[in-house]
Structure 1
Amino acid sequence: MESQTKEWKSFLQVIKERRSVRHYDPSVTISEQELKEILAEATLAPSAANLQPWKFLVITEQALKDQLLPIAYNQQQVADASAVIAVLGDLQAHVQVDKIYSASVEAGYMTEEIKQALVGNITAGFATLDTTARQNGVMTDCGLVSMQLMLAAKARGYDTVPMAGYDAGKLRAMFAIPERYATVMLIAVGKAAQPGHPTFRLPVEDVTFWNGIAE
């Protein structure tokens, strides 16, 4: 019980101390191995049918970050952070359903019979979805993985800021991002040169309805 309490307090500390940081120490680097570990922890997030439609374009080379700076409307954190991660959503994520569910069978999480039924249902279901429905789905799933990525980074002592302010067309052109991938957000990751400032949050009473919505 004591160890569980310590873990819970640690988690509370992470979520309470996370801030959107816009000023980074450009001298700090994060190793590829540690970035991989942060991404692996992020991908424990849930996704519809466990299809895991997220893809990550990790940008660490300074020359590329400098080229990205004007595309991100000159937000200086793009150039100064240790890495910028472009979170992408795969609109054709269903093509990996057999790979994912076969691995689940091998791990003993389900039987082959259940796998076959699920794969058939998911494949058939995706065939009925238009581009808008697929995009809505991946945006939800990629929002979940993005938040988990930021918390995983904070737990390791790094800071982040999510960015929706960028020219998606130019980002796509710069990195030749195929149309099958929706651009979700950019996330800067690094060590704060200045702490993120605290912000006000509405009280729970202002944002919660119980058992129905009252006008």
Structure 2
Amino acid sequence: MNTIEAIRHRRSIKQYDPNYVMNQEDLNTILQAAVLAPTSFNIQHWRFVHVQDQAIRQQLRAAAWDQAQVTDASTLLLVTGDTLSWQESPERYWANVDQQTRETLVTMLQDFYRDREWLQRDEVIRSGAMAAQNIMLAAEDLGYQTSPMIGFDIDKVGEIIRLPENHVIVMMLAIGKGTTQAYPRGGQLPLSEIVIKDQF
């Protein structure tokens, strides 16, 4: 399946085979695709919580208004991000470049994010969303279905997974073998309405 086909074919599926178990090789392939997503300054903000414990998944399902995919999908990931990645040993993000370049980038990075909490949070959401798209397209290519979710009590989910204070939940992702077809597409807005030439 090529990339365009995967994009066109990927749909949000809500019902999954609860007996299907994803193999570790496929999960690793999906997560390796996730970490190839771009991040500003190569910060790699993402932190992926792979929830395997069924008791925890039951708690998450309750916090997600009893949506079945939370427990029934083979794999459940919470895409989160660390808003303070920019100041946590940032030189490691350029371990493979020369020292002068690394020092220049660290200075630029610190100047860019310091005292701009809104930007730190925005960057986590951007990075996590791009990683999540890579996850969904990789899963599609491997024959899985996905359900990106934000329909849950964010505070409660944060409590359940013991989300660190400086982290943000981007979304929940259920991945597995769907048992139903997607609903018909609701309708896409025409490009003429959403593409603006030069200026609004």
Bucket of the pairwise TM-score, normalised by the shorter protein: over 0.9
Percentage of pairs with the same residue: 29
Instruction: Tell me the matched-pair count.
Output: 198
Taking the aligned partners of 1:121 and 1:202, their CA distance within structure 2 comes to 39
1:90 paired residue among 82, 91, 104 = 82
Are 1:113 and 2:105 matched, yes or no? no
Are 1:177 and 2:163 matched, yes or no? yes
Q: CA deviation at 1:33?
A: 3.3
Residue identity in the other structure for 1:11: T
Taking the aligned partners of 1:198 and 1:149, their CA distance within structure 2 comes to 23
Q: CA deviation at 1:96?
A: 4.0
Q: CA deviation at 1:85?
A: 0.6
Q: CA deviation at 1:15?
A: 0.8
Q: Which residue of the partner structure matches residue 115 of structure 2? A: 128
Give the gaps of 5 or more residues in structure 1: 1-8, 106-110
Q: CA contact under 8 A between 1:51 and 1:96: conserved in structure 2?
A: no
Q: Which residue of the partner structure matches residue 128 of structure 2? A: 142
Residue identity in the other structure for 1:128: D
Q: Which residue of the partner structure matches residue 165 of structure 1? A: 151
Q: CA deviation at 1:184?
A: 1.1
What TM-score does the superposition give when structure 1 sets the normalisation length?
0.87
Across the aligned residues of Structure 1 and Structure 2, the Cα RMSD in angstroms comes to: 1.4
Taking the aligned partners of 1:117 and 1:177, their CA distance within structure 2 comes to 32
Taking the aligned partners of 2:82 and 2:128, their CA distance within structure 1 comes to 9
Taking the aligned partners of 2:90 and 2:138, their CA distance within structure 1 comes to 26
Give the gaps of 5 or more residues in structure 2: none
Taking the aligned partners of 1:183 and 1:150, their CA distance within structure 2 comes to 17
Q: Deviations over 1:3-39 (max 9, x none)?
A: xxxxxx6222111110000011111111233212201
SS at match of 2:179: coil
Radius of gyration: which is bigger?
Answer: 1
Q: CA deviation at 1:160?
A: 0.5
- Using a 3 Å threshold, how does the CA distance of structure 1 residues 96 and 23 change in structure 2: closer, same or farther? farther
Q: CA contact under 8 A between 2:113 and 2:119: conserved in structure 1?
A: no
SS at match of 1:186: strand
Q: Which residue of the partner structure matches residue 76 of structure 1? A: 68
Q: Which residue of the partner structure matches residue 92 of structure 2? A: 99
SS at match of 2:2: helix
Q: CA contact under 8 A between 1:23 and 1:192: conserved in structure 2?
A: yes
